[in-house]
Amino acid sequence: MTSSGSPVTIPLGISPSELPALSTHRLEVLKTANDPNVTVGQMEEVIGRDQSLALRVLKIANSPLYGRSGDVKSIRRAVFLLGRDQIKHAAAALAIAPIFDMDVEGLVDGTVLWKHALATASWVERISKYAGRRMPEHMYTASLMHDIGLVIMLKCVDQEVSIIETARDEVRAVEDVERERLGTDHGALAAAVCEAWGLPAALAQLLATHHEPADGVGQLLGLGQWMARHTGFPEFDWMSVMACASHEQLDALDLNDEDVENILVDVEFVREEVAVLGFN
């Protein structure tokens, strides 16, 4: 059911009970992290009610990424040091991460897929800052969730393993093979998850269309994905990577190839952020 009480329309006849589930509190964390009006005090309160989440936030705040070395002892201090946006991003990542704890031997590694999601989110943030654009509140979570539909497909759709194998063997996009065989793709399932979890409609719409972006926000997500792949974080170990970002992405964001090279200077920061927020 959606937050309004109406049933969620799920492609391919998948039951709502088959969708990945978050604990009530982790879902509250994710919703709070996507609330444009949330305060740092509210983030502190919701994180503090989950001991394991609080410990992870303290670990992040004490990481070399943020220039600390064990001197952050309280969630209040961690939230203050990280700031509103970074604490929201960290909370969203920690809430979603367990869903990617899966593996299909030799084909899909959930850890690799999650690192790609984290790198995409990090690059989207860096692109936005470079271009002087304010990211929509849901953009970081969209970056984290853009491949969650793949996880659902692998769990619920018998053909998905064969689809991914075909994409690998024929060097094609997974979503193209999905549409050819199923009439839909994993973006539609990601959108269904957003609806089921009561996340913003704009987030669901972005995920549903991110393979065929219709605006600059979609192109921003696409460029973040390309940068993730280009810097060593593809969705799959066997995936080939385009040498250059697409002109559609760059034109939509008013960027050029030189701008891309300037943004890529931040690669070590992105790698450190992925390491801090990854499975550990």
Give the rounded percent of residues in the chain with a pLDDT score beyond 90: 76
What's the mean pLDDT in 112-126? 97
When the pLDDT of each residue in the chain is averaged and rounded to a whole number, the result is: 91
Tell me: pLDDT of 13 over 80.
yes
**Gap between the Cα atoms of 93 and 122, Å rounded:** 11
- CB burial class (10 A; 0-12, 13-18, 19+) of residue 42? middle
- Domains plus CATH for the chain? 16-96 (no CATH), 101-280 (1.10.3210.10)
Residue 119's pLDDT is: 98
Give the rounded percent of residues in the chain with a pLDDT score beyond 70: 95
Tell me: pLDDT of 244 over 90.
no
- What is the tens place of the pLDDT at every residue in 129-182? 999 988 888 999 999 999 999 999 999 999 999 999 999 999 999 999 999 999
pLDDT band at 64 (very low <50, low <70, confident <90, very high): confident
**Closest by CA position to 130, among listed 268, 212, 224, 244:** 224
Residue 7's pLDDT is: 64
Residue 20's pLDDT is: 83
Other CB atoms within 10 Å distance of the CB of residue 267: 17
